[in-house]
Amino acid sequence: MPEKANTLPPSFARGLSGMAGAGLITKALGYARDALLVAFFGGGALADAYYAAFRLMNVFRRTVGEGALNAVFIPLLEKEKTRGKAAGQAFFSSSWTVIFFGSALLCAGGVIFRREMVVLAAWGFRGVPGQVELTALLAAAFMPHLVFVNAAALFTATLNSARRFFLPALAPAAFSISVIAVLAAFHYGLFSGLDARGKIILVAAVASASGLLQALALLPLLRREGYGLAFTNPFRNLGAAPALMAAAPAALTLAQDQVSMLINTMYASFLPPGSITAIYNSARLVQFPVSLFAVAAATLSLPELAARSAAGDAEGFRRQLKPALTASWLIMLPAALGIAVMALPVCRALFEHGKFSPEQSLATSRALFWLALGLPAYGLNKVAASALYAMSRQKAPIAIISGQLALNALLCLPLMRSMGAGGLMLATSLSSWAAALAFLAALKSEAGFSPLAIPLFRPALAAAVSALSALALREALAPAGPLLVTAVAVPSAVAVYFLALKVLNVEERNLVTGGKF
């Protein structure tokens, strides 16, 4: 029997709606940024160098900061806060010292060893004259971003622990706004003395500096919560260092999506020019529902899960975990089928402008199709990993994600040979599903949570109906062009899905709709 709507946690639904709204703004700006970038520079070797360099920086960013830091830092801070407000503030100051100086060292290492990193991450670039050198220069330009954005990630985790979610979810929009601004400057004739190579280096430098804006936007709210930016004397009190260092492997596993894409980027460097851009843009599109709902569900539930675990409330832990996993499943499943059906018209509508060709749209859509099939698994993995870390069960997610990355790397070569960039994305999807099954088994073992507590089958039926409606509209409206097809079919399919959930009496839909449908 489905759980009744009035027993679903209203605070979770409200929080999810708020974070989804902030994420929608951030992602819409991100897609505008990416569409303008490929329209201006095309989808060939120049864009490949930019995205390969960005992927290198992004792995470090996601490993040390953002969602990984959230999952590692929040349970530790919640534990310290049980000892009193002063203990929590002292732990924050200690963490701030570790994160700031650790990120500065990482940045310096990235600048010094930029060429070596590029050769390792994009081995195939060695056969293209000047490609390694340009990518290394772009990577060096991106590296200072680590210091700013990891500081912002610490601020975000601290504010999430204080149950502040909206502004931290909105702050990353500074990155897209900065890039859009410099691309607009190019359009209106500024920096006309720069060639295409110089302009893309300037884009990377501006994008890197945007992290400072992100951190500054969060600082006033952080101060209102009672946290200052005083550094801790490393010779007297640096209590956070051992705990954060012990959690470093956990941070790597929570950045597994970026590590998977880095593996794919390495293989794609051997494919024709434009392949790296295709896998980057397909991953960006898949990240839309992941960031809006799966990451939001994991972020919202983590502080409560950590608090329940610290209090020894196993039943409360399971009650809090269920809506997070359910919300992720309810969104990721229809998103997977819908994106697979609409891959080509969406890619054409978003990217096929300026120098981005129809052939590049087709390559991107093929990659997107295969990557989208793993969406439900990505969502489950995000929430499950956060839940296990909230319980201080670090070994299971580390083992599962390590196995996933190894499987992804093993599958890439044979699938790339037969399917090109699409095969690389299929490898990621298959390995993600293997990890999802392992995560569900771990939650059953560690928390006593059964996957059957999630409504699985009726949402699957509703998602199938929604995808069929999108397919019918895609075929019927094809002569009108990809923009109209996307504008009509996507919202119509969403409406059909939620109507089907209502007809099928899936009460858990209120987790996403807030009880308004």
DSSP string, 484-514: HHHHHHHHHHHHHHHHHHHHTT-GGGHHHHT
CB 277 within 8 A of CB 361: no
Mean pLDDT, range 8-30, rounded to an integer: 66
Q: Which of 1-10, 25-34, 403-412 has the lowest mean pLDDT?
A: 1-10
Q: What does the pLDDT read at residue 435?
A: 94
pLDDT at 391 over 90: no
The answer on pLDDT for 9 being more than 90 is: no
Q: Which contiguous run of DSSP H or E holds residue 103? A: helix 85-112
Contact 343, 25 (CB under 8 A): no
Which of 32-46, 145-159, 376-390, 419-433 tops mean pLDDT? 419-433
For residue 247, CA distances in Å to 25, 244, 300, 397 come to: 32, 5, 21, 12
Segment holding 306, helix H or strand E: helix 296-310
Q: Does the pLDDT value for residue 3 go beyond 50? A: no
Give the pLDDT mean for 385-403.
Answer: 82
Indicate the pLDDT class of residue 2, thresholds 50, 70 and 90: very low
As a whole number, the mean pLDDT across the chain is 82
pLDDT band at 77, cuts 50/70/90? confident
Mean pLDDT, rounded, for 166-187:
89
The structural domain count of the chain equals: 1
479-494, pLDDT tens digit by residue?
998 989 999 999 999 9
Q: Which residues of 9-23 are buried (b: 16+ CB within 10 A; e: fewer)?
A: beebbebbbbbbebb
Query: What is the rounded CA–CA span in Å between residue 394 and residue 321?
Result: 17
Report residue 299's pLDDT band, with 50, 70 and 90 as the boundaries.
low
Distance CA 118, CA 429 (A): 25
pLDDT at 6: 39
CA dist., res. 50 & res. 95, Å (int): 32
| Whether pTM exceeds 0.75 | no
Most confident of 73-87, 208-222, 379-393, 497-511: 208-222
CB atoms within 10 A of CB 238: 17
Which among 172, 179, 164, 118 has a CA at the least distance from the CA of 148? 172
pLDDT of residue 39: 84
Q: Which is nearest to 286 in space by CA: 274, 294, 275?
A: 294
Angstrom distances, CA of residue 359 to CA of 36, 125, 212, 365: 18, 22, 37, 10
Local confidence band at 330 (pLDDT 50, 70, 90 cut-offs): confident
**Residues whose CB falls within 8 Å of the CB of residue 397, separated by 6 or more in sequence, listed in order:** 250, 253, 254, 384, 385, 388, 389, 439, 442
Domain region containing 371: 5-513
